Amino acid sequence: MDRKVLFAIATLLLGQAQTVSGRENLVRVTTSKDVRAGELANVYLNWLEKPPNSLTAFYTSCSHPNDTTPDDIIGQYTVRGQHPQRLAWAVPSNAQSDNCVFIYNQDENHHNEGSSKVIGKSKPVHIKRKVQKRSAAEMGIPLLQDFDSLGTWFDGVASIKQKTDYKGGVSSGASPKNASIAIVGGGISGLATALMLDSVGVHNWEIIEASGRVGGRFRTKYMADTQEWAEMGPMRLPHSVTYKEDNETLLYTDHQLTFQMAEILNTMNKNASRWRIDFIPWIQHHPNELIAQGTRRHADGRIPTRGEIEANPDLNDPPSMTSAEYEDSEKKMDNILKDTKTLKSIQKDVWRAHKTAMDEGLDDWSEQAMMRHVFKASENVTDQIWTDSDYDVFWDELHHNSNLGLDGSKDSLGETHWLCIDGGFSRLSDAFLPHIKDRLTLNRQIRKLESVQGPNDTSRTRLSWYPSVSNRTFESKEYDYTIMAVPFTMTRFMDLPTFSSVLGRAISEAGLRFKSACKVALLFSERFWEKGERPIFGGYSKPPSDPVGALYYPVYGLNESRPGLIMHYRGGDWSDRFVSFSDEEHVQTVLDSIVSLHGEQARDLYTGDYERLCWLQDEHTATAWCRPDVEQHKLYIPAYHKTEHNTIFIGEHTAPTHAWVSSSLHSSVRGSVQLLLELGLVDEAKELNKRWMGRWIKL
């Protein structure tokens, strides 16, 4: 209904409001404890009798309700079946304090109709004004409530406002917290979403996981009955960074979400040793790492170490290109990709930095296009600079340069300090089990999602699956909402309803782009690399084999008499090719590379035990992480924030950053808030948003 029509109706009804004596007793009206101008609030309705079929709510003078404006109208609501218990109220930024909320019966045939149409009135509502925030400069580091992210919360609030303008308001049914919710996927995004909903009193959810375990791409493997663990999935977390020029140390604020989740789980599990999550230092580099790629050999043929190359740069191979055009183009790229101010802004506030990058057009150009058409570099120079990198999109390389790119080397702007989980990342996902196991269904792979009609003209979702590989007769279950917490590489195999054009294209095979990776861990009976004249403790070496790429050493149990493992880790095109290898061929290729660095002793001490995982072969993910193409950030991210067919998509692929645990957790907060707003649970959405993102939702 048009807002002007609503205003005309409200004005007519308010003319009768002076005759309310004794008639405001059909519903008790209260509001959120904190009502702030320019934000969202709830109006709570406690019905003493059966409600009418149609209601109008407005906020105006308690004693002079005729003195009203269009902004005073909260909305118009049609009651279908369940009694509405709360209304979502977009409080105008200029709303006057100490007015009242009126509920008006717009149903002329209501059985209690008399001389008055007002059936409920709140006490005067005190409206608070926005408090001036503390600046990052005043605090030294930014507070979470200072953060923002591209469209995440603004789109949710805008959706509420759109419904207010078109339908006259958003109201919840009798028990919005009892809405049934399917969470498809038991990875960290799905697990965190379940816990976040629980924390605000929404308990009627079920996690549906296709595999026989939780954790998704968390994949810690203990090898051959030893205490040596291999991280086949995530293995490290950036915690802080120290810059050389001013010795400033900054926290990676987005990754604080991961440490916060661990702290919450430890508290919930009462620090029980079985579930406890402890962090230990991750050693990203060690001076005795052997660097056989792109380097010369010592006079005796020995491979140089990282420390030796730092001390003597002549041990590096000469650069492939040194022309003035090349150096000028590389400098222009570095001005974008290695700008200290920009990198610090990412570390302080990755979400606002992401929005800035989008606003500055960095999602509009590939790196190649920028060099060719803006910097006017030749094809040869452009290709040389681009092939030296692993990135096409500026934002992805900027984010990389803000953490992995700060390796403390001579030419680096600073050094990132890393942590990992003692015992492996699977401990983080396992710590959810005591709190979700009674609402967890394993070994159920969803094959079909449908939008179906529910009671009272509502919509629901129906999920279908096959009971077994051989039994192709669907079994199904309906839910009020579905939160899809699996990557698009999996939803592409599902039978889905037709989504809007942009969201449909993002999901499609031609849409959002993903990346693969392979890992192979070999177990040795002793840690020969920690012995000798140049022992190596943590970090990674680079063998002569470019396909093998990097060989990581353990960061735990250092300098002890114990077995140890070396981990081959390769992403990009090489990992796609390694999928074609048999386990035996891949393992032997890695072992050969280790021997090329450490000699035949490595072959003699290899136990024959290994773990291998190429993520393209993983039947439940078929990817390692998301790597959006040009313009996919700016175009696709807003589409994820719109609920279609009662379905919400979350996961690291829907976040502004990718490939990190914090990306998944950020999407869980966004998806949970999005659902709560859909249910009209505005107070709960605010609470969750403040707890995790540290600030109130704003209009």
**Whether residues 14 and 96 fall in one domain:** yes
Answer yes or no: is pLDDT of 187 > 70.
yes
In the three-class reduction of DSSP (H, G, I as helix; E, B as strand; rest coil), residue 523 is classed as: strand
Select the more confidently predicted residue: 318 or 684: 318
Q: Is there a single domain that holds both residue 633 and residue 508?
A: yes
Domain harbouring 559, CATH code: 3.90.660.10
Query: pTM of the entire structure?
Result: 0.86
Q: Which of 131, 159, 174 is the last residue of a domain?
A: 131
Rounded Cα gap, residues 532 and 527, in angstroms: 11
pLDDT at 158: 34
Residue 415 lies in a domain: no
22 pLDDT above the threshold of 50: no
* Structural domain contains residue 199: yes
pLDDT for residue 54: 86
Same domain, 521 and 505: no
Predicted local distance difference test score (pLDDT) of residue 169: 58
Is 294 among the domain residues? no
Range of the domain at 72: 3-131
413: in domain: no
Residues 9 and 83 in one domain: yes
Closest to 621 (Cα-Cα) out of 520, 516, 518, 521: 516
pLDDT tens profile 559-606? 999 999 999 999 989 999 999 999 999 999 999 999 999 999 999 999
Q: 542: burial class by Cβ within 10 Å (0-12, 13-18, 19+)?
A: buried
Q: Is residue 242 scored above 50 in pLDDT?
A: yes
Q: What pLDDT digit, counting tens, does each position of 401-412 carry?
A: 999 999 999 999
Distance CA 627, CA 391 (A): 9
Last residue of a domain, one of 567, 582, 617: 617
The answer to whether the beta carbons of residues 552 and 518 sit under 8 Å apart is no
Residues 508 and 639 reside in one and the same domain: yes
Domain identity same for 8 and 118: yes
CA-CA distances (angstroms) from residue 88 to 55, 84, 614, 678, 684?
Answer: 14, 11, 47, 10, 12
Residue 77 has pLDDT above 70, yes or no: yes
431: closest CA among 246, 271, 287? 271
**Domain identity same for 640 and 566:** no
Average pLDDT of 427-455? Answer: 97
Tokens of 226: 């030893």
Indicate the Cα dihedral angle 239, 243, 248, 249, nearest 10°.
10
- Between 43 and 107, residue with greater pLDDT: 43
Domains of the chain: total = 4
Residue 224 and residue 168 share a domain:
no
Which pLDDT band, with edges at 50, 70 and 90, does 130 fall under? low
Q: What pLDDT, on the 0 to 100 scale, is given for residue 50? A: 87
**Helix (H) / strand (E) containing 669:** helix 661-678
Residues in contact with 78: Cβ distance below 8 Å, sequence separation at least 6, in sequence order? 53, 54
Chain length of the chain: 699
How many angstroms separate the CA atoms of 586 and 540, rounded? Answer: 19
> Which domain-ending residue is among 617, 652, 676?
617
Which of 305, 307, 284, 283 minimizes the C-alpha distance to 557? Answer: 283
Residue 641 three-state SS: coil
- Which amino acid makes up residue 367? E
CA atoms within 13 A on the CB side of 25: 5
pLDDT band for 171, please (50, 70, 90 cuts). Answer: low
Mean predicted confidence (pLDDT) in 505-520: 96
Name the range with the highest mean pLDDT among 78-87, 207-216, 350-359, 385-394: 207-216
- Residue 55: is its pLDDT beyond 50? yes
| DSSP-assigned letters across all residues of 391-432 | -SBHHHHHHHHTTTT-B--TT-SEEEEEEEETT-THHHHHTT
Q: Residue 451 maps to which CATH number? A: 3.50.50.60
Kindly tell me if the per-residue pLDDT of 64 is higher than 90: no
pLDDT bin (cut points 50, 70, 90) of residue 548 is very high
pLDDT for 151:
36
pLDDT (0 to 100) of residue 175: 65
Tell me, yes or no, whether 425 lies in a domain. no
Element (H, E) at 583: helix 583-598
Tell whether 382 is covered by a domain.
yes
Of 320 and 551, the structure prediction assigns the larger pLDDT to 551
Q: Is the pLDDT of residue 123 over 90?
A: yes
Distance CA 284, CA 240 (A): 13
Task: Report yes or no on 263 lying in a domain.
Answer: yes
DSSP-derived secondary structure letter, 51: -
Contact 459, 643 (CB under 8 A): no
Q: How far apart are CA 257 and CA 196, in angstroms?
A: 12
Concatenating the DSSP letter of every residue in 284-315 gives ---TT-BB-SSBPPPTTSPPPBHHHHHH-GGG
Asked if 58 and 90 sit in the same domain, the reply is yes
Phi, psi of 126 (to 5 degrees): -85, 120
Distance of CA 541 to the CA centre of its chain: 31
Q: Give the contacts of 432 (CB within 8 A, at least 6 positions apart).
A: 191, 194, 195, 214, 265
Is there a domain that residue 296 lies in?
A: no
What local confidence, expressed as pLDDT, does residue 6 receive?
47
Angle, to 10 degrees, between the axis of helix 394-401 and the axis of helix 340-348?
A: 80
- Residue 93 sits in a domain of what CATH number? 2.60.40.10
Q: Are residues 209 and 224 in the same domain?
A: no
Give the pLDDT score at 71: 73
Long-range interactions of 44-49: CB distance < 8 A, separation 24+: 44/85, 44/86, 45/83, 45/84, 45/85, 45/86, 45/87, 45/103, 45/120, 46/85, 47/83, 49/112
With a pLDDT cut of 70, the percent of the chain lying above it is 87
Burial class of residue 655, CB neighbours in 10 A (0-12, 13-18, 19+): buried
Compute the distance between CA of residue 150 and CA of residue 156 in angstroms, rounded to an integer: 12
Looking at residue 667, its amino acid is S
Are the CB atoms for 483 and 648 separated by under 8 Å?
yes
Does residue 127 sit in the same domain as residue 187? no
Q: Are 199 and 224 contained in the same domain?
A: no
Give the pLDDT band (50/70/90) at residue 281.
very high
Band of pLDDT at residue 149, cut at 50, 70 and 90: very low
pLDDT at 108: 58
